[in-house]
Structure 1
Amino acid sequence: MFHLTTHGLRVSVAIAVALGVAACSRGSSDDVQAPPSFTVDHGLLKVPADSPLRKELVVQPVQVRAAPHAMAFPANVEADPARTANVLPALTGKVVELKVGLGDRVNRGQLLAVVDSGDMAQANADVVKARDALDLARKALDRARGVKAAGGSAAKDLEAAQSGFNQAQAEYDRARTRLVSLSGSPDASTARPMQVTAPISGYVTALSVAPGTYVNDPTTAMMTISNLDMVWITANVPEIDSGLIAKGQAVDATLWAYPGQVFHGSVSFVSPVLQPDTRRDLVRVAFANPDGRLKPNMFATASIDIPQPAQVFVPESALVMNNDSTTVFVEVSPWTFERRAVDLSYDESDGTRVLKGLKAGDRVVVRGGVLLND
């Protein structure tokens, strides 16, 4: 669509009135009818050499350029799934201490909670028993080697001692590895409760436990930690427009929380699967968020630049209404013009895109065309 400015119309009408008054004045003084400002011959408008219109009309060639078409879609801020971690308990038990609260900032490895777990006590006991069995097997192996060296035992006794040592070593390694995976200390002299630590740095965005509660399901998250240094603005693109979006296209995002501010980025991910309930495609744009201003679940609008083939652009001042159609005056020969209807796309900041009616190389009246609109 386009808009003819009221100011431009008043100026053009004033010029037309002035030309008419001047013509009437000459006619009344000389009693000779002034020549017309332009003539119409088989649909062509010709401006004579002595016409005052020649000083008012400005003719320029049309512009041809490949300007992208910006399409706006509703969007919202999301935490990056690759930077979000659900903290699961390794074992069941009772939460005896909770070291963080909802919204707290935590660092990787920081203690989050302490859980009193019978399974954890069993893991500690397994390590102690395996360590003791390993020490005993090592002593038996040393004795067997000494006896063998003195010639007092058969080779099979040494082999049996070696096998016992190997099995004890393997059992100790297994018990120790399991305890370490549960955040336990295999070198501690006494058993300790299970300690839950942060797998990543970020903010506690969800919390489902409290001191004194029981953790009975190891598959249920105790809390969620999200690193918000980088977030996504996810646009919901209708199915009909999904084929126009591709990775790398420029995006300008605006948020309801920050009116007047524009966040610039580019498409980093286009979902290969539509959402079954909304029939929309998810298009994600990654934005750096060092100051934490972009918060998950904020509403936004994502304007995506859709590449377009080279098209004709004209200034808005070249457009003239003729009944219900939009027209321009095209110069077909010097100072000879043809009225031509055009189809427009949408407003542009530096011109109006013409879909049909003009081609590269055409010259149009960009100022004063309303004077020919008779």
Structure 2
Amino acid sequence: MIFAERRQLVLAATAAALVAGAVGFVAGAYRDAPTEDRGGRAVLYWYDPMVPSQHFDKPGKSPFMDMQLVPRYAGEGESEAGVRIDPARVENLGLRTAIAKVGTLDTGFTAAGAIDFNERDAIVIQARAAGFVQRVYSRAPGDVVGAGAPLADLLVPEWGGAQTEFLAARRTGDAALTRAARQRMTLIGMPAGAIAAVERTGRPQNVLTVTTPAGGLIKTLGVRAGMSIAAGQTLAEINGLGTVWLNAAIPEALGSRVRPGQPANASLAAYPGERFPGRISAVLPAVEGDSRTLTARIELINRGGRLRPGMFAQVALGGMSRPALLVPEEAVIRTGTRTIVMLAQPGGRYQPAEVQIGATSKGQTEVIAGLGDGERVVASGQFLLDSETTLAGAQVRSLGAAKPVAPATARPTYQAEGSITAIDARSVTISHGPIPAIKWPAMQMRFLSPPATARAFKRGDRVSFSFDQPPEGPTIRRISKLNGR
């Protein structure tokens, strides 16, 4: 018993000595590390700016990079918004700033598309009665034919019998019987031209030549010599080539910028330097699931058949310019849950600010809320600053904390109708009616206009248009033909 008690006392004393030694070592270690700088500021820890999540209790060289550890001071980032970055480090990081200012946002953009047939010009030729194909003219799918081109000769026995009855009734001199026989030929599907030929020649026209009612490309041809055909059977499909469709793929995010009637200009690799003007005839309601794009259908005039279905094209869609608060596109940080910019404040301080953005065009992004006119934002190196502010726990300025943006005064626009009397690449002269809003009488006036106007309109066109009055003179902002003329 005495031996066991002595053993327990020895073990307890040894454990107490070990604990005391450990406490003394830790206290000595923290005593050795300076807790204040020469200016009296308390040091919380040291860290490597390249690995800010790792903290150290004493200064020295970073185990990750060949550089000295940097101190983090108590209260840093608490008394003022954001964090302060040493000017020397700012210069090393190559930070570049820009001022948010009100400017003009051009909402025009380009999209890719492909030429396709204008399905509104499609023609289907069908057999009006059962019969046999006696002859097929030298045609094949893909041929371009003119209006009235022959396709096939058909023998229709039912028409032959009706024609014989009509001629026999006409020889009797009975007008009522003749009218009934003629009506029967119409009801069984004989074309008016064939009936007129029977009346003129007095002989049955047993063979009918099927011709194309309009010119275009033969898409399908379903007749062969010797075959029998049924009533209603499709003999051929022809698509006109006077106009074509350009189906442009519009990114879903830009869907609000396109609308029917909007002007467009297409360029094709086959015709470098040439532009083909047109207008959006429809914006299809469905979105492509794979590409997340809308389809804008643009109708183009196909002079000389130069625009061939299947060709690829780039289409420029002009948008209305409008005033907006703009910052460089690269200044915007999208985190997935919100959008922020890094504000550059006096004294070398930087603070993240949440913003609501709108459209982006030509390297400029519209800021709808969260930023004021004249505030300076970081346009290069902002991701390093974002990491620094996150590490320091800097508070993000909310949308409502920004100073309000002075509303940009939009220039009023006026509506009018008239006839084009002269037009060139830079202006259009219109003879218009009275405009009561600005007390203009009916007169002839020259308006500034974009170059696309001269390509889409001509002298004598009746138009409806809107315009404003900038310092350089009355300028057309929208123009369209009246009643398609």
Q: Could you state the TM-score of these two structures normalised by the residue count of structure 2?
A: 0.46
Which of 121, 132, 136 lines up with 1:94 in the alignment?
132
Deviations 1:44-71 (A, max 9, x none): 989xxxxxxxxx9997551343442758
What amino acid is the match of 2:220?
A
Paired position in structure 2 for 1:232: 245
Task: Tell me, yes or no, if the aligned pair for 2:130 and 2:156 is still in contact at 8 Å.
Answer: yes
Question: Structure 2: which 5+ residue stretches go unaligned?
Answer: 1-76, 86-94, 389-485
Q: How does 1:296-335 map to 2 (within 5 A)?
A: 296=309, 311-315=324-328, 327-329=341-343
Distance 1:307 1:330, change over 3 A: farther
One-letter code aligned to 1:364 = R
Q: How many residues align?
A: 290
Matched, 1:171 2:186: no
1:202 aligns with 216
C-alpha deviation, 1:83, in angstroms: 0.8
Q: Answer whether contact 1:76 1:300 (CA < 8 A) is retained.
A: yes
Q: 1:303 to 1:293 in 2, by over 3 A?
A: same
Q: Which residue of 2 aligns with 1:12?
A: none
Instruction: Please report how far the alpha carbon of residue 87 of structure 1 lies from its aligned counterpart in structure 2 after TM superposition.
Output: 0.8
Report matched runs for 1:114-193 at 5 Å. 114-134=153-173, 137=174, 165=175, 167-175=176-184, 177=186, 179-181=190-192, 183-184=194-195, 185-186=197-198, 187-192=200-205, 193=207
1:206 Cα deviation (Å)? Answer: 0.9
102, 114, 121: which one aligns with 1:83? 121
Shift of 1:213: 1.6
Contact between 2:162 and 2:181, CA under 8 Å: does it hold in 1?
Answer: no
Select 2:151's aligned residue among 96, 103, 112: 112
Tell whether 2:402 aligns with 1:364: no
CA 1:302 to 1:274, structure 2 compared with 1: closer, same or farther past 3 Å?
A: same
How far apart are 1:229 and its partner, in Å? 1.7
Alpha-carbon distance, 1:101 to partner:
1.4
Relative to 1, partners in 2 of residues 1:114 and 1:59: Cα closer, same or farther, differing over 3 Å? closer
Asked if structure 2 preserves the Cα contact closer than 8 Å seen for 1:127 and 1:179, the reply is no
Partner Cα separation in structure 2 for residue 301 and residue 100 of structure 1: 38
After superposition, give the CA deviation of every residue in 1:81-128 in whole Å (9 maximum; x if it has no partner).
Answer: 321101111222221122241222222223221112212212321331
5+ residue gaps, structure 1: 1-39, 47-55, 138-164
Quick one: structure 1 residues 66 and 320, their matched pair in 2 at CA, closer, same or farther if it must change by over 3 Å? closer
Correspondences of 1:40-51 after superposition (within 5 Å): 42=80
Counterpart contact for 1:120–1:194, Cα < 8 Å: no
Contact 1:330 1:362 in 2 (8 A): no
**1:68 aligned to 2:107?**
yes
- Once the two structures are superposed, residues 165-201 of structure 1 have per-residue CA deviations (whole angstroms, 9 ceiling, x without a partner) of 4x13522542565644374522224333012111111
Deviation at 1:233, TM superposition (A): 2.8
**Residue number in structure 1 paired with 2:228:** 214
Aligned CA distance change for structure 1 residues 124 and 239 (closer, same or farther; 3 Å): farther
| Inter-partner Cα distance in structure 2 for 1:191 and 1:286 | 46
Distance 1:79 1:285, change over 3 A: same
Counterpart of 1:202, as a letter, is G
| Partner residue of 2:300 out of 272, 287, 309 | 287
Contact 2:134 2:154 in 1 (8 A): yes
Cα distance between partner residues in 1 of 2:152 and 2:128: 12
Deviations 1:22-62 (A, max 9, x none): xxxxxxxxxxxxxxxxxx9945989xxxxxxxxx9997551
Relative to structure 1, the CA distance from residue 320 to residue 263 in structure 2 (aligned partners, 3 Å threshold; closer, same or farther) is same
Q: Which has the higher contact order (CA 8 A, sep 6+)?
A: 1
On the 8 A contact 1:183/1:195 being kept in 2, the answer is no
Q: CA deviation at 1:309?
A: 7.8
- The question of whether the paired residues in 1 share the 8 Å contact of 2:105 and 2:361 is answered with no
Provide the secondary structure at the position in 1 that maps to 2:223: coil
For 1:211, the aligned partner's letter is A
Distance in 2 between residues matched to 1:337 and 1:183, nearest whole Å: 91
- Structure 2 residue identity aligned to 1:126: E
Q: Counterparts of 2:358 and 2:288 in 1: how far apart (Å)?
A: 30
Please provide the CA RMSD for this pair. Answer: 5.3
Deviation at 1:255, TM superposition (A): 7.1
* Cα distance change, pair 170–293 in 1 and its aligned pair in 2 (3 A): same
**Equivalent position amino acid for 1:90 in 2:** R
Give the letter aligned to residue 107 of structure 1: G
Kept in 1: contact 2:243–2:302 (CA 8 A): yes
Q: Distance in 2 between matches of 1:283 and 1:317?
A: 29
TM-score (norm 1): 0.57
- Contact 2:345–2:351 (CA<8 Å) still a contact in 1? no
Deviations along 1:220-275, whole A, 9 cap, x unmatched? 21111110221223457799987775323455667798899876543212456889
